[in-house]
């Protein structure tokens, strides 16, 4: 028979089982953290009607979209979880309770140029809180505590949540009279970590911003000090713009409340350089950096938007949310050796029958499983060495060996695969020992 070369498309992450176990462990920890704050699960389709999905999209995103026809239908694969959320909230508005807090963890699709660390299929892990007409700013302060809890749960200690407020930036442009170019200016400022201050100035000049205006902008984004000092310096700029002062008040309030929400001061800071390129953010914005691995870029970002679903509904639906790009994060963190998952196997126990009395072996496996211990039984007719090698390769921590001697004494032999120690014990004792280890 002619063979087809088995292969996986470039840009699609496919893991070996031992890596998948770790990936799933991380995904589950993110999910548990989100649920800890009471977010409800959603699972919207991956395929949507192209007209619905692309109601708002444009530019780069549209080019990247997987769009195709099936019969007479013009279909597209979702490229994020925010547009499906907007659709969902508009579609089921009458049946939801507000504030509507939902999380969604799922794959999204973008036909990016294939290169290391860039994925065409990747997981996003989103939480959003959507208000009906209005949404208290306290939620803006709750978001960092969700980021904090999640990254602590993932085993990280040294990370900083950067916050800013888009109104402050817009207010500055208002003041210098460049409101029409604000989106472009924000996009340039956003790159300062990557390209440096000089290049930012250059690009602003190219954009046609006057020298003294660039100076105002550069002075503004250079403001340093503690959070309180930054707020103080901003106040002292004496900017009249109403939007600026609204933003400043919001930032001050959010900064205070973040502490109240239990995030230690060392884990968050005001960062006037972050803008988040996306034009739907209108207030607080977030980025999160691992202190010792800033080059990874932001590992969790988001912000406040005034109107989630204006393309679908007249209802005003303000919201605030964040997203973790899990696939890229996993790729990068693994490369840097940052992933310390204690979970390395599915099975806790490999039962090794060394007898023809399979019934007894199955009975023992059942007892282990009934005690909620993941248990595999080796059923192939192989040499004992191969059987232990299988346990080793799969990182299974315990082997339970059952021979005729053990059965005669109503015991089993427990072998600790890490230390090599072994001991013959009643099964109940084995179960206790394994449960204690957990």
Interface residues for a second copy in 281-320 (CB under 8 A)? 309-314
Bridge partners (DSSP) of residue 75 are 49, 68
Q: Does 375 bind a second copy (CB under 8 A)?
A: yes
- Name the residue nearer to a second copy (CB basis): 48 or 193: 48
**Residue 400 Cβ vs a second copy, minimum distance, rounded to whole Å:** 12
Bridge partners (DSSP) of residue 100 are 130
- Name the residue nearer to a second copy (CB basis): 121 or 184: 121
Which range of residues in 2-10, 175-183, 195-203, 205-213 is near a second copy by CB under 8 A? Answer: 2-10
Question: Which residues does 4 contact at the CB level (< 8 Å), separation at least 6?
Answer: none
Alpha-carbon span 404 to 353, nearest angstrom: 9
Which range of residues in 41-49, 400-408, 414-422, 423-431 is near a second copy by CB under 8 A? Answer: 41-49
Q: Please check whether residue 125 is in contact with residue 30, taking contact to mean a CB–CB distance below 8 angstroms.
A: yes
Q: Does 4 bind a second copy (CB under 8 A)?
A: yes
**Residue 46 Cβ vs a second copy, minimum distance, rounded to whole Å:** 7
- Name the residue nearer to a second copy (CB basis): 25 or 202: 25
**Residue 365 Cβ vs a second copy, minimum distance, rounded to whole Å:** 9
Q: Does 394 bind a second copy (CB under 8 A)?
A: yes
Task: Cis check for the bond before 99: say yes or no (omega within 30 of 0).
Answer: yes
**SS3 annotation, the chain:** CCCCCCCCCCCECCCCHHHHHHHHHHHHHHHHHHHHCCCEECCCCCEEEHHHHCCCCCHHHHHHCCEEEECCEEEEECCCCHHHHHHHHHHCHHHCCCCEEEEEEEEEECCCCCCCCCCCEEEEEEEEEECCCCCCCHHHHHHHHHHHHHHHHCCCCCEEEEEEEHHHHHHHHHHHCCHHHHHHHHHHHCCHHHHCHHHHHHHHHHCCCCHHHHHHHHHHHCCCCCHHHHHHHHHHCCCCCHHHHHHHHHHHHHHHHHHHCCCCHHHEEECCCCCCCCCCCCCEEEEEEECCCHHHCCCCEEEEECCCCCCCCCCCCCEEEEEEEHHHHHHHHHHCCCCCCCCCCCCCEEEEEECCCHHHHHHHHHHHHHCCCCEEECCCCCCHHHHHHHHHHCCCCEEEEEEHHHHHCCCEEEEECCCCCEEEECHHHHHHHHHHHC
Binding residue for a second copy, selected from 29, 78, 87, 415, defined by CB under 8 A: 87
Based on the number of CB atoms within 10 Å of its own CB, is 157 exposed (0-12), middle (13-18) or buried (19 or more)? exposed
- Name the residue nearer to a second copy (CB basis): 92 or 205: 92
Q: Does 66 bind a second copy (CB under 8 A)?
A: yes
Q: Which of residues 125-164 bind a second copy (CB under 8 A)?
A: 131, 135-136, 138-139, 142, 145, 149
Binding residue for a second copy, selected from 58, 59, 72, 97, defined by CB under 8 A: 97
Q: How many residues lie near a second copy (CB under 8 A)?
A: 99
- Name the residue nearer to a second copy (CB basis): 3 or 211: 3
- Name the residue nearer to a second copy (CB basis): 118 or 187: 118
Q: Which of residues 169-228 bind a second copy (CB under 8 A)?
A: none
Alpha-carbon span 62 to 65, nearest angstrom: 5
Query: By rule CB under 8 A, what string of x and - marks binding of each residue 319-358 to a second copy?
Result: ---------------------------xx--x-------x
Q: Please check whether residue 402 is in contact with residue 363, taking contact to mean a CB–CB distance below 8 angstroms.
A: no
Binding residue for a second copy, selected from 195, 197, 210, 260, defined by CB under 8 A: 260
Q: Does 407 bind a second copy (CB under 8 A)?
A: no
Binding residue for a second copy, selected from 59, 70, 212, 420, defined by CB under 8 A: 70
- Name the residue nearer to a second copy (CB basis): 17 or 337: 17
**Residue 388 Cβ vs a second copy, minimum distance, rounded to whole Å:** 12
- Name the residue nearer to a second copy (CB basis): 46 or 207: 46
The residue with tokens 């953010």 is 281
Largest pairwise CA distance in the chain: 92
**Residue 226 Cβ vs a second copy, minimum distance, rounded to whole Å:** 20
Q: Which of residues 99-118 bind a second copy (CB under 8 A)?
A: 99, 101-102, 107, 109, 111
Which range of residues in 8-16, 154-162, 221-229, 412-420 is near a second copy by CB under 8 A? Answer: 8-16
**Residue 417 Cβ vs a second copy, minimum distance, rounded to whole Å:** 14
- Name the residue nearer to a second copy (CB basis): 220 or 388: 388
- Name the residue nearer to a second copy (CB basis): 141 or 169: 141
Which range of residues in 29-37, 211-219, 243-251, 427-435 is near a second copy by CB under 8 A? Answer: 29-37
């Amino acid at each position: 028979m002619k063979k087809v070369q088995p292969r996986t498309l470039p840009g699609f992450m496919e893991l070996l089982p031992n890596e998948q176990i770790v990936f799933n462990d991380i995904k589950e920890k993110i999910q548990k953290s989100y649920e800890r704050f009471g977010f409800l699960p959603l699972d919207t389709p991956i395929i949507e009607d192209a007209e619905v999905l692309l109601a708002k999209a444009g530019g780069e995103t549209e080019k990247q979209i997987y769009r195709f026809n099936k019969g007479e239908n013009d279909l597209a694969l979702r490229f994020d979880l925010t547009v499906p959320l907007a659709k969902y909230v508009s579609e089921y508005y009458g049946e939801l309770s507000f504030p509507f807090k939902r999380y969604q963890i799922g794959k999204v699709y973008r036909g990016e140029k294939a290169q290391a660390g860039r994925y065409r299929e990747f997981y996003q892990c989103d939480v959003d809180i959507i208000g009906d007409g209005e949404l208290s700013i306290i939620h803006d302060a709750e978001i960092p505590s969700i980021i904090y809890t999640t990254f602590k749960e993932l085993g990280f200690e040294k990370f900083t949540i950067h916050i800013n407020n888009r109104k402050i930036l817009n207010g500055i442009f208002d003041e210098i009279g460049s409101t029409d170019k604000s989106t472009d200016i924000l996009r340039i400022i956003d790159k300062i970590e990557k390209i440096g201050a000089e290049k930012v100035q250059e690009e602003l000049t190219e954009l046609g911003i006057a020298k003294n205006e660039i100076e105002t902008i550069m002075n503004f984004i250079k403001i340093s000090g503690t959070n309180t000092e930054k707020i103080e310096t901003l106040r002292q700029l004496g900017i009249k713009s109403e939007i600026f002062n609204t933003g400043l008040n919001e930032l001050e309030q959010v900064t205070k409340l973040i502490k109240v929400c239990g995030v230690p001061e060392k884990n968050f800071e005001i960062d006037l350089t972050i803008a988040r390129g996306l034009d739907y953010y209108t207030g607080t914005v977030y980025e999160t950096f691992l202190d010792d691995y800033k080059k990874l870029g932001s590992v969790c970002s988001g912000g406040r938007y005034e109107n989630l679903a204006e393309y679908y509904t007249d209802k005003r639906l303000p919201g605030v949310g964040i997203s973790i790009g899990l696939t890229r994060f996993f790729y990068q963190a693994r490369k840097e050796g940052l992933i310390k998952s204690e979970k390395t196997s599915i099975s806790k126990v490999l039962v090794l029958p060394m007898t023809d009395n399979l019934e007894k072996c199955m009975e023992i496996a059942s007892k282990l499983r009934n005690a909620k211990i993941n248990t595999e039984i080796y059923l192939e007719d192989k040499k004992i060495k191969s059987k232990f090698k299988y346990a080793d390769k799969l990182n299974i921590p315990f082997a339970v060996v059952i021979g005729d001697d053990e059965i005669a004494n109503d015991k089993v032999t427990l072998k600790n695969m890490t230390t090599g120690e072994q001991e013959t014990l009643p099964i109940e004792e084995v179960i206790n020992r394994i449960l204690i280890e957990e």
